[in-house]
Structure 1
Amino acid sequence: MRERGARDRAGAGRGLIDVLVAGGGPAGLATAIHAALAGMEAVVVEPRTGPVDKACGEGLMPGGVAALAAMGVHPAGRPLRGIHYLDGRHQARAAFGHADGRGVRRTVLHAALARRAAELGVTTVAGRVREVRQDRDGVVAAGLRARWLVAADGLHSPARRSLGLDLPDRGPRRYGLRAHFRLAPWTDFVEVHWSGDGGEAYVTPVADDLVGVAILTSRRRPYPEHLAAFPALLARLAGAGAGDGTAPGMEGRTEPVTVVLGAGPLRRRVRARVAGRILLVGDAAGYTDALTGEGVSLAVRCAEALVGCLRRDRPQDYERAWRRLSRTHRLLTGALLLAAHRPATARLVVPAAQRMPALFTSVVRALA
């Protein structure tokens, strides 16, 4: 009924929808929630139903937990106290300090956001935004007319591509792979294992009996082969029980209980985040790398800033707001990515963090 009502309003010309959101992932739902909290009518266009899974590290920084709570979103998960770097010989730990982060299954986060959006009266329409037309007064997409269109349609954003906002990127291509293992978490820190050959493994407790292991790498090979590059982590995971959905190729070895999901290439360079009455948020707005684990937290904060700009009828301010909110992430992630790409410098990251604990803690708390 809600879906039909949205189409009827648009078709009958009974006024513009305030904000039409292309994409019902965390960035899109956060935008819709902030719009609803601001008294605006929001409609989300999303082809998938139910909680949507995605390859991601699933660790929320303290700032992201606070931003979600301010929206009335409280996903269940495991508290995270900080970041722990390891390379087999060296290690460095830094606590967030002022507040905990949270390890949250992507599907749990999505369900919590969807519930909150529904509570606030956000309409969800099943479909895809394929073609967009805009004029001085509004935007038409997916058969609906709105004052603004927010493209939250992911790394490979069709909306961004159709607007010609993609920039070429000649840097190394990085990919992410993620699966879960059925065992009790052994730490309340996010562990980052550095292999020294162009890859990292991120271990995130997400439930009392479940840990997620995400691999970031520029090398294309099966997940078991990536995991083998981290012998200490592999030993920790040994004996993790298999369950429904065990990934093919892992039988008889350390076995995940969810299918391996992948994403990438991760880096996305974008010319601008505003094109007339169309604005980009989340991964669609540009992406450096998942190395520092800020994707969801940054998307939620940018969604709030975006809606604030629309309320003031100053969409042009969003570009500056996005750059300000993402500056620390872009600078620190870019520097770490540069180091991670070269084996000689990648091997120095953890020893340097161990030798300079105050600096490492400062960096972690800046990101948090």
Structure 2
Amino acid sequence: MIDLLVAGGGPAGLATAIHGALAGLEVVVAEPRPTPIDKACGEGLMPAGVRRLAELGVTVPGRPFHGIRYLDGTTGRHAEGLFRTGPGLGARRTGLQAALAGRAVQLGVRVVARRVEGVRQGPDSVVAAGLTARYLVAADGLHSPVRRELGLAAPPVPGRAARYGLRRHYAVAPWSDCVEVYWSDRAEAYVTPLGPDRIGVAVLTTEQAPFDVQLARFPLLSARLPAAPGAPVRGAGPLRQSSRVRVAGRVLFVGDAAGYVDALTGEGLTLAVTAAGELVRCVRAGRPREYEQAWLELSRSYRALTASLLWARGQPRLAGRIVPLAARLPGVFTRLVNVLA
């Protein structure tokens, strides 16, 4: 029998498959889309994520970056925090997914072009997509169909503005060896170096408007960018998604499907890869229910820091002080950056 049936062939699903294969489990990934899969993403791996991927034997093409820089999108005032434990990596989403997929195939993971639905659980197995396995891992993204099918999606909090992400690539040489985060009164723009002649610009905002309208809110950044006629824009959202649990019988959730706060702190990919390892450890030990607590502990700093920063961003009297405060307290800012790193 299949040990793990993984719903979703994105980074979280493939990382789970690789962890499982390395642990000696039989793993099948169900993914209806062809590789590589692109999506809206900040495309920055924090240092811990880079290390986790190296431990899995995954080599990802990209460009190293050495810290995080916050900038006021109008005045240019900034604060910079450098990593103390090695560089992060700016990597195109397609390159990351292709590298993970290649490693999974190398380890003997079977990938089938199927959509996972019609989940049925028994005392010793779970059936979905015409396959039977000991466990189903839902790694099917922000708006997880499996989470929705099982009735595990928590309702949105009334009065909380939904946030959305947009991303576009530019054919321009990176001008910084940090990920830059530009702040305006209503949005943030992330600039990630991806290669010698390419950067990614991702905008996080509560307002649904075209990318160029969003970008105009950051005049200092806009002035650095070449015209990008026809360059595709990828979008995602609403970003905040909650799951009532991470373990529901023989179904376990990982990656964005397990619950997501926001992309503001850039920890999503690192958390997904690390949590995938904990999920496999718990399953292999025959104690899958322990994964719930493991996920809560792993994600505690991400959830706390991201929620706190989002709260401050939502306070009109505080939002404009985030960058000046970080600039006045460089030691504190650097410590926070390294907690995330």
TM-score (norm: length of structure 2): 0.98
Provide the rounded CA distance (Å) in 1 between the counterparts of 2:161 and 2:111: 37
What is the distance in 1 between the residues matched to 2:181 and 2:276? 28
Residues 138-159 of structure 1, C-alpha deviations (whole Å, 9 max, x = no match): 0001111000000000011010
Given residue 83 of structure 2, which amino acid in structure 1 is its aligned partner? F
1:205 equivalenced with 2:190 (yes/no): no
For residue 293 of structure 1, what is the aligned residue in structure 2? Answer: 266
**Alpha-carbon separation, structure 2, partners of 1:30 and 1:360:** 31
| Correspondence 1:110 to 2:79 | no
Please identify the structure whose Cα radius of gyration is greater: 1
Instruction: Please name the residue that 1:47 is paired with.
Output: 32
**Aligned pair partner of 2:171 in 157, 182, 186:** 182
Residue from 120, 126, 145 that aligns with 1:133: 120
How do residues 15-54 of structure 1 correspond to structure 2 at under 5 angstroms?
16-54=1-39
CA contact (8 A) 1:179 1:257 kept: no
Corresponding residue for residue 47 of structure 2: 62
Q: Secondary structure at the match of 2:21?
A: helix
**Is 2:130 the partner of 1:143?**
yes
Using the alignment, how far apart are the partners of 2:166 and 2:229 within structure 1?
12
Question: Cα–Cα, structure 1 residues 95 and 256, in superposed 2: closer, same or farther, change >3 Å?
Answer: farther
Work out whether residues 176 and 214 of structure 1, in 8 Å CA contact, stay in contact via their aligned partners in 2: yes
8 A contact 1:73–1:113 mirrored in 2: yes
Query: Please, which of 208, 220, 223 is the counterpart of residue 208 of structure 2?
Result: 220
Identify the residue that residue 194 of structure 1 maps to in structure 2.
Answer: 183
Q: Which amino acid aligns with 1:25?
A: G
Closer, same or farther: CA 256–107 of 1 in aligned 2, 3 Å: farther
Counterpart-to-counterpart distance in 1, 2:116 and 2:138 = 9
- Inter-partner Cα distance in structure 1 for 2:124 and 2:91: 40
Shift of 1:257: 6.3
Which structure 1 residue ranges, 5 or more long, are not aligned? 1-15, 241-253
**Cα deviation, residue 256, structure 1:** 5.9
What letter is aligned with 1:287? Answer: Y
- Using the alignment, how far apart are the partners of 2:55 and 2:169 within structure 1? 29
The AA in structure 2 aligned to 1:337 is L
Structure 1 residue matching 2:58: 3-state secondary structure: coil
The answer (yes or no) to whether the contact 1:182–1:257 under 8 Å persists in 2 is no
C-alpha separation in 1, matches of 2:306 and 2:104: 31
Aligned 8 A contact 1:180 1:256 in 2 = no
Q: CA deviation at 1:343?
A: 3.2
Of the three residues 267, 275, 283, the one matched with 1:310 is 283
Mark the CA change 1:325 to 1:256 in structure 2 (over 3 Å): closer, same or farther: farther
Q: Distance in 1 between matches of 2:29 and 2:129?
A: 10
Residues 257 and 92 of structure 1: is their aligned pair in 2 closer, same or farther, counting only changes over 3 Å? farther
Mapped to 2, the partners of 1:173 and 1:335 lie a distance apart of: 16
C-alpha distance in structure 1 between counterparts of 2:304 and 2:67, whole Å: 20
Residue in 2 that maps onto 1:235: 223
Tell me how many residue pairs correspond in the alignment.
Answer: 337
Between 89-98 and 210-219, the greater mean CA deviation after superposition: 89-98
2: CA distance, partners of 1:201 / 1:316: 38
The amino acid that maps onto 2:302 is H
Q: What does residue 331 of structure 1 align with?
A: 304
Change (3 A) 1:86 1:256: farther
CA RMSD of aligned residues (A): 0.9
Aligned partner of 1:24: which letter?
G
| Residue ranges of structure 2 left out of the alignment (5+ in a row) | none
Rounded to whole Å, the distance in 2 between the matches of 1:30 and 1:343 is 40
Q: Does 1:281 pair with 2:254? A: yes
Identity, % of aligned pairs? 60
Counterpart residue type for residue 319 of structure 2: A
Q: Which amino acid aligns with 1:108?
A: G
Secondary structure of the 1:51 match is: coil
Counterpart amino acid of 1:325? L
What is the rounded CA distance, in whole Å, between the counterparts of 1:350 and 1:126 in structure 2?
46
User: Secondary structure of the equivalent of 2:336?
Assistant: helix
Equivalent residues in 2 for 1:239-278, closer than 5 Å: 240=226, 254-255=227-228, 258-278=231-251
Aligned match of 1:8:
none
Deviation at 1:164, TM superposition (A): 1.2
Task: Say whether the 8 Å CA contact 1:281–1:302 is kept in structure 2.
Answer: yes
Instruction: Give, in whole Å, the separation in 2 of the partners of 1:75 and 1:109.
Output: 6
Q: How far has the Cα of 1:330 moved from its partner?
A: 0.4
Distance 1:276 1:212 in 2: 40
Q: CA deviation at 1:340?
A: 1.4
Write out the 4+ residue segments of structure 1 that deviate beyond 6 Å after TM superposition.
none
The one of 91, 94, 110 aligned to 2:81 = 94
Amino acid at match of 1:19: L
